[in-house]
Structure 1
């Protein structure tokens, strides 16, 4: 939907290469004055780029101080302990029982940076977090620096790859969760919002099991589940901009469920074909592109009466599309 685009160099390992970021933003803006710059993923490991953007343009969303506060594992663990928020233990040094831990990159996103600990030695920017068995539940919320308003909850799943066992797969919007749990989570997020001065759209990832909810991480920006919560009557990007300015905003209401998932190439594709994409897809690969196994191909969406049925529908749609670039492999 963007009128103008430009692709900057970067990769999953090193993040955004920001040497030409400001120059490129000025080129995209031209003679116009942007209402705001909204940052997505990739800046959590390069907070100096956030400061650089804010020096040149109005920034709608969290500044570098807030990002560092919630993305630094030591700071987040300390805040959770002080605020009474259940949170898995973390450590910088290798644990004596690695089978019970995962290894993460501080500021990482998308799950591709997470692996099971296997006798790993400490590395710069990497830390260990105790593995918690349970369901992955995410809360999309809006902060205004003082309080947090939850937009809704989703259940997420992974799409494991050989070198990325926790790679993000998709998410389905939940119609509701237990009221007492929702109230407790709302209180936790309000406390963290005040502590870190969070503003705009953010998400919080939890693991739910028989012992309740444990906060795994905070994503201080619009995230992967935004599309399944958005609606034309109360656009979330408008709520994000208004909250960042300290203004009142409307939030959407839902009566059904919606899911999104990323379709990945399971085998190499030498020459990506021309595809007539259904209107329930987005983020399409371009014709002629050469893909390796594991590259993302598109995002698939589905609606349904409840979370279980909707996830089955979106998975079936993704499998249907897969034949377009991989053919019949039976």
Structure 2
């Protein structure tokens, strides 16, 4: 066993590990067919409060199955629990950003202050009643991931946010994300992607998918790349990180820093790029390449969510589907079912193929049709 991987959904990380020739022990909430196929051993951890780890169950499973000292790589789902990250690190070293670093970078007031110091546009935030905040507001969970935790604040609502939540001025525009590889002092841009939402009435800002690589509009693109790299250097970030922006009529704004590997591995962990998890491990040791090649084609990936409670029917899955649940699995309304991945010579063709394949998969699962998200 070379390492352990912990994430709400470990499949993109363990697929990259397998591509790098690494044997991984994985802990996530799904243990789907693809994760188990790529992992040396695959463990399903109990859920808590919907889609969060049961910390005690995770620590017990890690202590039972992972030798002390086996390094751990963390994916999405732990940024809101730095104390759980510290419990993991007490026994198994984390190859990535330390819990203390994650706690600071996910503190909205600390990030706002840092952006202000570096003259990086960042929407105003508040931990209490929204005095002094103008315009439409959204409420977000501190350290939340996936967008399902974000709600739009009703106009005129002056109440404070829920505990462990904060308010942020909503910025209209197109969401884009930069994937960086950093070694604590330097960083190189892996690529940029455009993202979209797969919202429903309960989760209007839920992550829907991404397509890339995209070319950022200039001159904003140069300023955004510089801002991302300045943030990474100021915080001493290491490994693969993603930095989210909004580009709209009022310019561009940095809105989130994700100091870990994320969903855009589906876009960028492809030839001719080397396995990104291998690059992540090297960067944590201080080594990054001077530059990286770009994929020769556009890649798109979209998440399919259940619009009702379903039982996964028997049958074969299309080649483009990842995160495949086993036949007979019960999936609750609002939960992710699988991911569809496509590619093409242009962004438009990759997106059109994604929309078509997603319709086919939804029909196979007996789910209702939705408008194409991109």
Query: Cα distance, 1:232 vs. partner?
Result: 4.6
Query: Cα distance, 1:179 vs. partner?
Result: 4.8
Query: Cα distance, 1:290 vs. partner?
Result: 2.2
Match of 1:215 in 2: 254
Mapped to 1, the partners of 2:256 and 2:41 lie a distance apart of 33
Query: Cα distance, 1:153 vs. partner?
Result: 0.6
Q: Is the 8 A contact 1:259 1:310 kept in 2?
A: yes
**TM-score, normalised by the number of residues in structure 1:** 0.92
Q: Is the 8 A contact 2:196 2:209 kept in 1?
A: yes
Query: Cα distance, 1:327 vs. partner?
Result: 6.8
Q: Is the 8 A contact 1:137 1:208 kept in 2?
A: yes
Equivalent of 2:190 in 136, 147, 151: 151
Mapped to 1, the partners of 2:199 and 2:324 lie a distance apart of 21
Q: Which moved more, 1:87-96 or 1:162-171?
A: 87-96
Match of 1:317 in 2: 357
Match of 2:275 in 1: 235
Mapped to 2, the partners of 1:306 and 1:211 lie a distance apart of 28
Match of 1:48 in 2: 83
Query: Cα distance, 1:318 vs. partner?
Result: 0.6
**Paired residue secondary structure (2:189):** strand
Structure 2 residue 241 is matched with structure 1 residue 202: yes
Equivalent of 1:254 in 290, 295, 320: 295
Question: How far does the alpha carbon of each residue in 1:157-188 deviate from its partner, in whole angstroms, 9 at most, with x for none?
Answer: 00111111001101001332235333322221
Unpaired segments ≥5 residues, structure 1: none
Equivalent of 1:103 in 139, 142, 151: 139
Equivalent of 2:100 in 45, 54, 65: 65
- In structure 2, do the counterparts of structure 1 residues 222 and 256 end up closer, same or farther at CA, with 3 Å as the change threshold? same
Q: Is the 8 A contact 2:185 2:236 kept in 1?
A: yes
Q: Is the 8 A contact 1:239 1:251 kept in 2?
A: no
Q: Is the 8 A contact 2:271 2:295 kept in 1?
A: no
- In structure 2, do the counterparts of structure 1 residues 123 and 13 end up closer, same or farther at CA, with 3 Å as the change threshold? farther
Query: Cα distance, 1:99 vs. partner?
Result: 6.5
- In structure 2, do the counterparts of structure 1 residues 77 and 272 end up closer, same or farther at CA, with 3 Å as the change threshold? same
Matches within 5 A, 1:157-306: 157-233=196-272, 234-249=274-289, 251-269=292-310, 271-306=311-346
Query: Cα distance, 1:12 vs. partner?
Result: 5.6
Mapped to 1, the partners of 2:210 and 2:128 lie a distance apart of 32
Equivalent of 1:307 in 330, 347, 353: 347
Structure 2 residue 55 is matched with structure 1 residue 18: yes
Structure 2 residue 117 is matched with structure 1 residue 76: no
**Paired residue secondary structure (2:280):** helix
**Paired residue secondary structure (1:38):** strand
Q: Is the 8 A contact 1:169 1:262 kept in 2?
A: yes
Query: Cα distance, 1:98 vs. partner?
Result: 8.1
Mapped to 1, the partners of 2:230 and 2:367 lie a distance apart of 51
Unpaired segments ≥5 residues, structure 2: 1-37, 370-374
Q: Is the 8 A contact 1:172 1:257 kept in 2?
A: yes
**TM-score, normalised by the number of residues in structure 2:** 0.81
Q: Which moved more, 1:242-251 or 1:131-140?
A: 242-251
Q: Which moved more, 1:256-265 or 1:273-282?
A: 273-282
Q: Is the 8 A contact 2:245 2:254 kept in 1?
A: yes
Equivalent of 1:133 in 153, 164, 172: 172
**Paired residue secondary structure (1:88):** coil
Query: Cα distance, 1:252 vs. partner?
Result: 4.0
Q: Is the 8 A contact 2:194 2:214 kept in 1?
A: no
Structure 2 residue 49 is matched with structure 1 residue 8: no
**Paired residue secondary structure (1:142):** strand
